[in-house]
A and B are shown apart, each in its own frame.
Chain A
């Protein structure tokens, strides 16, 4: 096993950014204020875009620069801007979405990271440390986003969780496989963009129909006898 200090500087940087992204997902999980959650999400997008640029530099693949710019524009700027604008118009920017038992949730997230490494380490094909870390961390990002999705009550924080799930997948594509074919990346970016816009429209629909954005209140359809 190579020591961290023996790696070339650029690879050390890539690792550091990967670790920072993982940290940001913990921050997201613990963040109760709506506006702060969106800001953390924007930072995560920025880190992801920086990481993509570093990987592009390291591997010399020019198309990765395009995806770096794409994720900077989309995930660090446009989506956070859209979410902040919509929540300001809905007057929920300063709201709290209380995290249920924050300590326990964070502990669970830590356990998830260990679990993901445990899943990945025995796989013989992942013996290369870079890919092993990449797969494990991206799996952990996905899992933590799922945890955030089920522990939140407000539509807007659920959307942030959903989008950070997408970040985890993008992380996997960048670090494990040096990006996807261009047509696929453009397609995914387009889907994310449309999804963000539809979510933006949807907030108003939810508020108009149940007069709150607590999705807890969405509980009419169920498989039980009334």
Chain B
């Protein structure tokens, strides 16, 4: 419990401190130390939960499912803050941001981490909503940090679309509370996930089904499911790159986590299958997921901006995960959990490299980024290896998880493997037609390497490689515990 308190309070305190620290240089270092402390606390928390079992508080609950996401969130937070320090200093030198806005940037960064950790660890579905809305509020001014017309437009779109989207989720939460109030007499406990999950069988199936649809639309907007994805490429491409890394690596995961949690309740409520298809929730998620996967794959081909390119790749992968969680069953769930991990590690590494690449080239336009591998081999190789990993090549972890998902699909609904395989091929070609010239193309005159820290990218890609070669037994058991929690039975 102490570990949880420290994990949650570190980013909150850091946000308050950073809001008053004037010097951007010191702010950058405080940012790193706070995320490092948060990561240490999260590791401790994970260690405790693994050793002694889940923490079931009234307001907070940490079990196998969310503790691994907490650990992942603070790891990505740490490496992104390490990357962001030299990156943002460079942006400051270029006068794209002012010291005042750097203060806003650092405070919002920590505030965002706090909302992520709060939504993961809370046991109250209402607080989960509040925290996810808080995440939008914390990041909206970061998307418009550069104050260009494009970034203002992206932030406005992000604010309105996500705000409206997530309002639907609040309506769903109210409906769920309405259904629960008849079963759970104590109103303070009727929104607690653990209570709802325990009483899921008694909830009115029709009301829960309607609530789930609202919740799926609401949180699905934040996951970036097609056709609710319009904000995502804009917000990713116009904000500062560290922001794109945490949006893709963390926010999308946490929103999907919220969807999976309410799906668990919905499945319990509809299990009797009297009024409705008992797999309604799963089928809806499969439909949305597969659509997102295929549409985003096609959009990859038309992109001109490197950050938009990779944000469509995020939509594609989130679609795949949504599909897998919808498919259900231990194999698909295990694969989806693994995919969540490797995707957020790989994608944040890619965004870090993309940030360096666009600083080298001085633009985000794909056609003007050329010859990276000769200007700065670290960046060129980072982008190449990262893209190979995200495209699902062996021996990287993404291959393992995609292979598991494909196997699971083949087992339960074989005809769906055809669109899945086609989607993989389309996405692969979409990425590599742009990547090839950026990495190997002719070197433009006068392109200089920049100051960067290679540790975050190397660390992330090494982890992804490790997960692809051999998942350590303790981690596999960890994933298996989470799988058992979500799908009812384990894999190992």
Q: How large is the interface on B (under 10, 10 to 19, 20 to 34, 35 or more residues)?
A: 35 or more
Can you list 5 pairs linking A and B with CB atoms under 8 Å apart?
Answer: A181-B124, A183-B124, A188-B133, A208-B147, A221-B157
Q: Which of B173-181, B403-411, B433-441 contacts A (4 or more CB under 8 A)?
A: B173-181
Encode B289-303 as 1/0 by CB contact (under 8 A) with A: 000000000010010
Minimal beta-carbon separation of A11 from chain B (angstroms): 18
Q: Is the CB of B164 within 8 A of A188?
A: no
Minimal beta-carbon separation of B16 from chain A (angstroms): 15
Instruction: Say which residue of A149, A158, A166, A180 sits within 8 Å of B174 (CB atoms).
Output: A180
* Residues from chain B with Cβ under 8 Å of A184 in the complex: 124, 126-127, 129-130, 191
Taking CB atoms and an 8 Å cut-off, the chain A residues in 180-202 that contact chain B are 180-184, 187-188, 190-191, 194-195, 198-199, 201-202
Q: How large is the interface on A (under 10, 10 to 19, 20 to 34, 35 or more residues)?
A: 35 or more
Minimal beta-carbon separation of B178 from chain A (angstroms): 5
A183 to B122 alpha-carbon distance, docked (Å): 12
Interface majority SS (helix, strand, loop, mixed), chain B: helix
Q: Is the CB of B160 within 8 A of A149?
A: yes
Instruction: Say which residue of B127, B149, B167, B177 sits within 8 Å of A142 (CB atoms).
Output: B167
Asked if A86 lies at the interface with its beta carbon under 8 angstroms from chain B, I say no
Instruction: Say which residue of A149, A176, A188, A219 sits within 8 Å of B178 (CB atoms).
Output: A176
Encode A100-138 as 1/0 by CB contact (under 8 A) with B: 000000000000000000000001110000010001001
Asked if A89 lies at the interface with its beta carbon under 8 angstroms from chain B, I say no
Asked if B137 lies at the interface with its beta carbon under 8 angstroms from chain A, I say yes
Minimal beta-carbon separation of A27 from chain B (angstroms): 21
Question: What number of A-B contacts does a CB cutoff of 8 Å give?
Answer: 132
Minimal beta-carbon separation of B103 from chain A (angstroms): 15
Q: Contacts A131-B178, A198-B137 hold; do A206 and B127 have CB atoms under 8 A apart?
A: no
* Residues from chain B with Cβ under 8 Å of A176 in the complex: 174-175, 178
Instruction: Say which residue of B137, B152, B299 sits within 8 Å of A205 (CB atoms).
Output: B152
* Residues from chain B with Cβ under 8 Å of A190 in the complex: 130
Starting from the known contacts A135-B175, A155-B156, A181-B187, 9 additional A-B residue pairs (CB-CB under 8 Å) come to A177-B178, A184-B124, A187-B127, A187-B129, A201-B141, A202-B140, A209-B147, A210-B152, A221-B238
* Residues from chain B with Cβ under 8 Å of A23 in the complex: none
Taking CB atoms and an 8 Å cut-off, the chain B residues in 162-219 that contact chain A are 163-164, 167-168, 170-171, 174-175, 177-179, 181, 187-188, 190-191, 204, 206-207, 210
Q: Is the CB of A181 within 8 A of B167?
A: no
Q: Is the CB of A166 within 8 A of B191?
A: no
Instruction: Say which residue of A158, A191, A208 sits within 8 Å of B133 (CB atoms).
Output: A191
Encode A132-165 as 1/0 by CB contact (under 8 A) with B: 0001001100100010010000010010001001
